[in-house]
Amino acid sequence: MKLSIVILAAGQGKRMKSDLPKVLQPLANRPLLQHVIDCARALEAEAIHVVYGHGGEQVPQAFAGQPLTWVRQAEQLGTGHALMQAMPAIPDAHLVLVLYGDVPLVASATLRALCGAAGERSLALLSVVLDDPAGYGRVLRDKAGSVYRVVEQKDANRKEQAVRECNTGLLAAPAAALRRWLGKLGNENAQAEYYLTDIVALAVRDGYKVEAVVATSATEVLGVNDKAELAELEAAYRRQRARELMLAGVTVLDPARLDVRGSVTAGRDVLLDVNVVLEGTVVLGDRVRVGAGCVLRDTSVAADTVLHAHCVLDGAEVGAGCSVGPFARLRPGTRLARGAHVGNFVELKNATLGADSKANHLSYLGDTTVGTAVNVGAGTITCNYDGANKWPTVIEDGAFIGSGSMLVAPVTIGAGATIGAGSTISKPAPPGALTLERSRQQTLAHWQRPHKADAAERAHRIAGAQLPGGDRKDEPK
């Protein structure tokens, strides 16, 4: 059967106490709903329908450009009512998988098992066994172990509340039968809502087989209702992603202090120190070492490179055998060739540093192309912005830039050139020559360093400074 997926994402999330709709609350720097959508895409469904309500157009606008079908639930009358809104667009011959926008950690393998348990004459629901089932609907089985009903906590009697197998709300069912069951739902319950779970009893009545697929972990079916639960979910997500990396061979010095907020590809013998954050798409080559407190976003780092503590790399491409940091910042468009060194408090933006070139201390290189074996001295700045436009700087192979130099772009430093320390260079520096620019140094032999004046002297000086014309009475005319 072809698959249609419906994600129920219309809840308000009052307990979040936020102006942001619940499904837009961030988990690992992405909306909760985005995690569910990404998992749904892995199933290669014919269509993904998202039912939204609270937050209005704010929710679909957050996912503009993604191939999704949006369905508005104008009134929040329960999960059954929410699913009704999406059904008109789903063919009878499809299998329908129902997901929730605030249950973001469910695994695609679990969903495949759920879909595999459903068919033309069967309904499958995802259950979980909990030590503390309070608040969850209970899955009720007969003596033969077959599911015959799901009862919500508020409607369950004492015996039913003792059941530890709980309903997660996720289910798969044939569209034609699901449409028929939804039409028979009533709202005679404690919440006066149309419960999607009531279709289980309707399916049993119609002779359909009801399969309960038990989730392998309670973590993957965790939902979110408030910021405390969101923090718990964030911690669970961190543990999950850290474990995935460790099982892939990465050494993680403290799994509790690693944040993975995107896709990470790692080679052999990679080491991640504490408080590392990996965002977007990150690629780490063999034997890469990432120091404490580093943040990498949409960055690739080739083999044998060391990122020392507290570096920020954003949209950078770092070659093999490089050394970066500590406290370095590589902004978008930065490219380091093999063996390049970027030291402490150095910032690069839209810059290329050639093989074996070094910028080791307190420098800014923006819109700059640096050749091979170049040494950039401490305090060097490429003055690339004139207040309206950005201009390029080119430093050719083997050049030596003295400390404290200002390179005013557009400018080219020739191959093998040397720039004297403290120079402001605004014209091309020829290859192989020393270029420097300095004012004449003077020494005033009789100059005395100012001393701290007492109160009487300060009053005298202030009074003198206020004479008409700005004359001072203690100065010679």
Q: DSSP characters for 172-193?
A: EEEHHHHHHHHHT----STT-S
Q: Which two tokens stand for residue 361?
A: 């201390």
Provide the 10 A C-beta neighbour count for residue 22: 27
- Catalytic residue chosen out of the listed positions 49, 54, 310, 361: 361
Provide the strand spans (E) within 176-316: 209-214, 251-252, 258-266, 271-272, 276-284, 289-290, 295-301, 306-307, 312-314
Distance CA 148, CA 412 (A): 79
Distance CA 245, CA 277 (A): 13
Paired sense of beta strands 352-353 and 335-336, if any:
parallel
Distance CA 113, CA 220 (A): 14
CA atoms within 13 A on the CB side of 233: 25
361 is catalytic: yes
Question: Residue 90 CA to chain centroid, in angstroms?
Answer: 33
11 and 102 in contact (C-beta within 8 Å)? yes
Beta bridge partners of 260: 278
Q: Which two tokens stand for residue 65?
A: 């450009």
Distance CA 51, CA 88 (A): 13
Distance CA 193, CA 184 (A): 13
Distance CA 102, CA 14 (A): 13
SS3 39: helix
Distance CA 294, CA 99 (A): 35
Paired sense of beta strands 138-141 and 147-151, if any:
antiparallel
- For the chain, the straight-line distance linking the first and the last C-alpha, in angstroms and rounded, comes to 103
**Secondary element (H or E) of residue 353:** strand 352-353
CA atoms within 13 A on the CB side of 388: 0
Distance CA 442, CA 366 (A): 34
353 and 342 in contact (C-beta within 8 Å)? yes
Distance CA 18, CA 9 (A): 16
Distance CA 439, CA 317 (A): 40
Q: Dihedral angle at the C-alpha atoms of 356, 358, 364, 369, nearest 10 degrees?
A: -30
Q: Which residues are catalytic?
A: 361
